[in-house]
Amino acid sequence: MDVTARPEGADCRGVSEILSRVGDKWTIQVVVALRLGARRFNGLKREVGGISQQMLTRTLKVLERDGMIARTVHPSTPPQVEYTLTPLGHSLSETVRQLADWAAENRQNIEDHRLRYDADHA
Amino acid sequence: MDVTARPEGADCRGVSEILSRVGDKWTIQVVVALRLGARRFNGLKREVGGISQQMLTRTLKVLERDGMIARTVHPSTPPQVEYTLTPLGHSLSETVRQLADWAAENRQNIEDHRLRYDADHA
DNA sequence: CGGAATCCGAGCAGATACTG
DNA sequence: CAGTATCTGCTCGGATTCCG
């Protein structure tokens, strides 16, 4: 099914909801951290700098609910919980990387526009 | 932990800032509306359903500052202000469309995961 | 018509403390 | 270690009003 065929799809809401996930400050950082392999809770907390454990908990729960990551509990003392990217999560990370590439390419350009805009509106 | 210490960490802030723009509820809708051609303020307000004029004003200002859209004033009575997508804005819209395609393709999949997750955690 | 300025309520994010 | 619970502040976004 090609989205480009119809100008305004019925699932615009669903799409923009997913876009807002992508734009979320923590979601992407967690996904990126998991691209390299499985991580545990506090490992992620360390790797994703500046995140509170509550935000990490919430982010992980949302991602798990959406099927982007898998949560595996190894019953032991101390308890170990591993998070891994599902195929769907990997798929997302690839798509996001394209957007990130675009952002990296055009970052300087955008920055220049801002400086000029700010200068004109001083 | 210093973000810049990580590989590719130099533009992480800039990139994630752009990602947050993409995830913004209104930004994308405005860009999409402008893909079809120039629009005026109240035209956009009508086309992007549910947006307040303050949010539209803010969104347009940010997009103009970033060089995504161009603002052209036709001095007349009543005043006419036209907004158009710049090449950079078009470029962004193309990249976002790829993400939107991904979202459309996987929306059902995600929805299924959610239903199952909610059922398990009932 | 195309905005700018102000006020205000809701929701999200952080810090902290506690639990299995 | 891996969370949960609570409280709080603070930003976002909407409605309203006013200006050129």
CATH number belonging to domain B10-120: 1.10.10.10
How far does the CA of residue A53 sit from the closest CA of chain B (Å)?
15
Question: How far apart are the C-alpha atoms of A50 and B13, rounded to whole Å?
Answer: 13
User: Domain spans of chain B?
Assistant: 10-120
Strand-pair partners of B39? B83
What pLDDT, on the 0 to 100 scale, is given for residue A11? 66
What pLDDT, on the 0 to 100 scale, is given for residue A85? 97
Q: Return the structure tokens found at A56.
A: 């990490």
User: Is the pLDDT confidence value at A64 over 50?
Assistant: yes
Confidence of residue A5 (pLDDT cuts 50, 70, 90): very low
What pLDDT, on the 0 to 100 scale, is given for residue B25? 87
What pLDDT, on the 0 to 100 scale, is given for residue B11? 65
* Positions of E strands within B1-122: 39-40, 69-74, 80-85
pLDDT by residue (tens digit) across B66-90?
A: 999 999 999 888 889 999 999 999 9
User: Is the pLDDT confidence value at A110 over 90?
Assistant: yes
Please tell me what DSSP assigns to residue A81.
Answer: E
Q: Look up the protein residue whose alpha carbon has the minimum distance to the C1' of D2.
A: A41
What pLDDT, on the 0 to 100 scale, is given for residue B5? 44
3-state secondary structure of A76: coil
Span A20-25, mean pLDDT? 89
pLDDT by residue (tens digit) across A30-61?
A: 999 999 999 999 999 999 988 999 999 999 99
What pLDDT, on the 0 to 100 scale, is given for residue A4? 45
Calculate Rg over the CA atoms of chain A. 18
The interface residues of chain A toward chain B in range 60-119, judged by CB-CB distance below 8 A, are 64-67, 88, 91-92, 95-96, 98-100, 102-104, 106-107, 109-114, 117-118
Which strand (E) or helix (H) includes residue A72? strand A69-74
Other residues' Cβ atoms within 10 Å of the Cβ of residue A105:
12
Other residues' Cβ atoms within 10 Å of the Cβ of residue A26:
19
Give per-residue burial for A47-81: e unless 16+ CB within 10 Å, then b: bbeebeeebbeebbebbbbbbbbbeeeeeeeeeee
What pLDDT, on the 0 to 100 scale, is given for residue B76? 85
What pLDDT, on the 0 to 100 scale, is given for residue B14? 77
Q: Spell out the residues 6+ positions from residue B64 whose beta carbon is closer than 8 angstroms to its own.
A: A117, B70, B71
Interchain contact, B99 vs A103, CB within 8 Å? no
Question: How far apart are the C-alpha atoms of B117 and B122, rounded to whole Å?
Answer: 9
Chain B residues in contact with A65 (beta carbon < 8 A): 113-114, 117-118
Span A74-94, mean pLDDT? 93
Question: How far apart are the C-alpha atoms of A9 and A16, rounded to whole Å?
Answer: 11
Percentage of chain A exceeding pLDDT 70: 91
* CB-based contact B105:A12 (threshold 8 Å): no
Nucleotide lying nearest to A121, CA to C1' measure? C4
Give chain B's residues under pLDDT 70.
1-11
The interface residues of chain A toward chain B in range 5-44, judged by CB-CB distance below 8 A, are 7, 9, 11, 14-16, 18-25, 28-29
3-state secondary structure of B16: helix
* CB-based contact B6:A50 (threshold 8 Å): no
